[in-house]
Amino acid sequence: MHRAIAEKIPEGKKIAIGIYREREGYDKKVMKAAKLCNFAEVVVVDEGEETEKKLLDMVEKGEVDAAVRGTARASKMIAELKRRGYEFVRIALLETFYGKLFLLSPVGVDEGKTLAEKIVIAEEAKKMALKLGMNDRVAFLAGGRLGDIGRSEEVDRSLAEAELLAKICGGVNREILLEDVEEDIIIPPNGMIGNYIFRAMCYLGGGKEYGAYYAKLPFTLIDTSRAQSAEGYLRALALAAVMSE
């Protein structure tokens, strides 16, 4: 776990984490993380088809300080949040192989489709960054370089959007040049690309994921990938503790 996160973990938090047994071994990873956790009281929610509802009930009613998805189903969780009338954006905290922390959003394949959504993501990510002790500068990505204008309508559109968003939000248009990003917040052109960045970095490039914070909710909820390791779930529990302060 990154030292900057470990140093911010408060004491005495109670955190719920979910289990849905879609595949063999899913429960073992969550149980191992709960056992390894020495900074919070962890409540494992293993309620089958009711797991997602139970997790939300507990954190919504204040029975726990935060909730972590664990291996519960994202689609069911999101549907239940929307049914309850909540609006939210998910912002992932990631760590590169070289130990740099950054925020990435959108990361859901159906998120960040409009300029308005990306503006909200940028503003919420700034708040999250400051809470985590990171800088709140935003890098907007596009589908190509400025020198590529005219080669593809899709790339042209993404470059124009990145430039406009950078001006509106006080950020920087980094084009497609991920390697040049110095900011701690990265906003890709859409959620599909964001999901690719996250998966390539964490599952092929030796990076680490801490989970994705559901911003704009009146309680603390952290999303996680079901491909995560026990150590990954432990990092998500740490992020939940920090964000619940």
The DSSP line for 51-106 is: HHHHHHHHHHTTSSSEEE-TTS-HHHHHHHHHHTT---EEEEEEE-TTS-EEEE--
> Do 139 and 183 meet the contact criterion of CB atoms below 8 Å apart?
yes
Cβ atoms of 211 and 239 within 8 Å: the answer is yes
Angstrom distance (rounded) from CA 201 to CA 221: 23
pLDDT at 52: 96
Q: Which residues of the chain have pLDDT under 70?
A: none
Which letter, b or e, does each residue of 100-117 get, where b requires 16 or more Cβ atoms within 10 Å of its Cβ? ebbbbbbbbeebbeeeeb
Task: Take residue 164 and report the two structure tokens written for it.
Answer: 């406009």
- The pTM (predicted TM-score) of the whole model is 0.94
Instruction: Note whether 39 and 238 are within 8 A (CB).
Output: yes
What pLDDT, on a 0 to 100 scale, did the predictor assign at position 131? Answer: 96
- What is the reported pLDDT for 140? 97
Confidence (pLDDT) at 227 = 79
Burial class, 99, CB count within 10 angstroms (exposed 0-12 / middle 13-18 / buried 19+): exposed
Q: Are 185 and 138 in contact (CB under 8 A)?
A: yes
- Return the pLDDT at 150: 85
Which 8-state DSSP code applies to residue 6?
Answer: H
Please list the alpha-helical segments (H only) found in the chain: 3-6, 26-36, 51-60, 74-83, 115-131, 153-169, 191-199, 230-243
Structural domains of the chain in order of their starting residue, each with its CATH number: 1-86+217-245 (3.40.50.2300), 91-212 (3.40.718.10)
Residue 23: its pLDDT value, please? Answer: 75
pLDDT of residue 221: 98
Exposure string over 182-204, b if 16+ CB within 10 A, otherwise e: ebbbbbbbbbbbbbebbbebbee
